[in-house]
Amino acid sequence: MDALISPLVLYSACALGAVGVVLALPRRGASWRVPGTLLAAIAGGVVVLALGLVANESGQLPNIYFYVFAALALGAALRVITHHRPVYSALYFILTIIASAGLYVLLAAEFMAFALVIIYAGAILITYLFVIMLATQSPVEGDDEFQADYDAKAREPALATLAGFVLLAVLTTMVFGGLGSLRAPSGAQHARIERLALATMPQKIERVLRDTPRRDDSGEPMRDADGRAVMMVGPDERVVRLPAIEGRSMVNIAEGSVLVEMPDGGTRMTNPRDWPEELGVSNVEMVGRNLLADHPGTIEIAGVILLMAMLGATVLSRRQVEIDEEAKAHEARRLHGLDEEGVAS
Amino acid sequence: MTGVGPVILAQADYPEAMGTITLAHYLFVSGAMFALGLIGFLTRRNMIIMFLCTELMFQAAGLALIAFSRYHLDHTGQTFVIFVLTVAAAEAAMALALVILLFRKRESLSTEDWTEMSG
């Protein structure tokens, strides 16, 4: 198998990381937290460094921010599972989320990055924090003896870490080995997809073209009688929404022209020369298009899942108040200002 | 730059697909995060932390999905992350309701108080 980085480096880094995580997991007595965390960090650093060297040779070095966000995300993830106080675990998880959002931005997925911060860090984690604060008694500062046993001691740290890192080693071996057979589609194919997507958005095109000046043959912006710039789509004009008129396609992104309806009812094609270079489809538009055009049924299912979860959570967490007949009668007497014998007090 | 309109905010070009080796970087981060979540789920005995670790694993899956979405320049991966978020939110609501219910019964968050549930 054509390994991306030497198996020796990969497996020894995994072993080193495993030892580090075992040491870093919470335990009673002598604390190995700091050396354990350091060891795990070194192991992660070795793999990323090896990957970086390979990338440097092939000229595919990721952005420097990738390393910053990856280190933040993995370091915070390690603290999530090793911190002995649940509140801090949750706060470190928020750090992981924010670092992941940074990675999403690097991957040109802006919408998901914002959604992640808002939904995860803003909503889900706050719910977790509420429950943790509701259910955890604060220990005396700096006194681990009062820490609840289930927080202070990990269960089978060595076995679990072994399982986790064997999984990681197998996963990375398979992924790195299989990457060579993975073909990314060509850029030209995707330029076509983008043009198709843009052609279905006449409103967006109209909005942009209203701000784009028409140019005359010398390249100067055209002016009307009052000296104002003439736009590609004027105030009284509109982009024709029909798919095609007289065999001419309404929006021809490849040529850079659209059919515009003039106030007197006639139509004209815009000049390809005026077409704005920067007219493109943003990430949010593409995700929204994909979501609504290709997966409309899934949205409905997601809605049902959320509704069911809401109902289920309400039913589960409702405090069961059992009032028997005697208690009811007692409460009724108390409300009416009567004592136990039924005599007004 | 004249004015911040839709023209400026929209991406000028469709993003270039990233290289295979850069994809490997993201997949390694995702795999390591998943492994950490798994270890946390197996070792920690606090129910809330265990559910937090499942969220960590969701997060790792989401990162891999977004990386592949970028690699193939196919937005279905990003759409799928929306549904991962939905499921994570639903799971968090149910899990926390269960934790609250169990905590009221035993005044403890330890999973070992509920070993009789393993049957």
pLDDT, one tens digit per residue, over A275-303 is 777 777 788 888 888 898 889 999 999 99
Q: Is residue B116 part of a domain?
A: no
Measured CA distances, A180 to A2, A176, A185, B24, B105 (Å): 8, 8, 14, 10, 54
Total length of chain B? 119
Q: Do A150 and B73 touch (CB under 8 A)?
A: no
**pLDDT at A308 > cutoff 90:** yes
**pLDDT at B81 > cutoff 80:** yes
- Residue B31's pLDDT band, with cuts at 50, 70 and 90, is very high
Q: Is residue B38 part of a domain?
A: yes
Out of A180-184, A270-274, A292-296, give the one with best mean pLDDT: A292-296
Is A260 within 8 Å of A238 (Cβ atoms)?
Answer: yes
- The two tokens of residue A152 are 């202070």
Residue B93, domain CATH: 1.10.287.3510
Q: Is residue B13 part of a domain?
A: no
Residue A98 is predicted with a pLDDT of: 95
Give the minimum alpha-carbon distance from B54 to chain A in angstroms, rounded to a whole number. 11
Q: Is residue B9 part of a domain?
A: no
Residue B12 is predicted with a pLDDT of: 40
Distance CA A151, CA B45 (A): 7
Give yes or no for B104 touching A (CB within 8 A): yes
Q: Tell which wins on pLDDT, B110 or A79.
A: A79
Q: Do B21 and A204 touch (CB under 8 A)?
A: no
Q: Do B43 and A172 touch (CB under 8 A)?
A: no
Measured CA distances, B89 to A6, B40, B52, B117 (Å): 40, 20, 12, 25
Residue A91 is predicted with a pLDDT of: 94
Is A87 within 8 Å of A136 (Cβ atoms)?
Answer: yes
Within chain B, what is the greatest distance between any pair of CA atoms?
A: 69
Give the minimum alpha-carbon distance from B75 to chain A in angstroms, rounded to a whole number. 6
% of residues, chain A, pLDDT over 70: 85
Among A51, A83, A150, A208, the strongest candidate for a mutation testing the B interface, having the largest count of B CBs within 10 A, is A150
% of residues, chain B, pLDDT over 90: 50
Distance CA A48, CA A55 (A): 10
**pLDDT at A6 > cutoff 60:** yes
Distance CA A100, CA B18 (A): 18
Q: Is residue B3 part of a domain?
A: no
**pLDDT at A101 > cutoff 90:** yes
Distance CA A282, CA B15 (A): 10
Round the average pLDDT of chain A to a whole number and report it. Answer: 81
Chain A partners within 8 Å of B42 (Cβ) = 155-156, 159-160, 163-164
Residue A138 is predicted with a pLDDT of: 60
Total length of chain A? 345
Q: Is residue B71 part of a domain?
A: yes
Nearest residue to B114 (alpha-carbon basis) of B47, B55, B53: B47
Distance CA A271, CA A192 (A): 21
What average pLDDT does range A113-137 have in this prediction? 89
Q: Do B70 and A107 touch (CB under 8 A)?
A: yes
How many independent structural domains does chain B possess?
A: 1
Query: What angle separates helix A125-135 from helix B76-106, to the nearest 10 degrees?
Result: 10
Q: Do A171 and B31 touch (CB under 8 A)?
A: yes
Give yes or no for A306 touching B (CB within 8 A): yes
Q: Is residue B7 part of a domain?
A: no
Nearest residue to A70 (alpha-carbon basis) of A49, A42, A98, A99: A99
Q: What is the pLDDT of residues A204-244, one digit of tens each?
A: 778 888 887 777 777 777 787 787 777 877 777 877 766 55
Q: Is residue B47 part of a domain?
A: yes
**pLDDT at A146 > cutoff 80:** no
Stated as kind and residue range, the H or E segment containing A6 is none
Distance CA A96, CA B33 (A): 10
Interface of B with A in 21-60 (CB under 8 A): 21-29, 31-40, 42-46, 48-49, 51-53, 55-56, 59
Residue recorded with tokens 């910053």? A68
Give yes or no for B114 touching A (CB within 8 A): no
**DSSP secondary structure of A287-339:** HHHIIIII-HHHHHHHHHHHHHHHHHHHHHHS------HHHHHHHHHHHTTB-
The parent domain of residue B75 ranges over 20-111
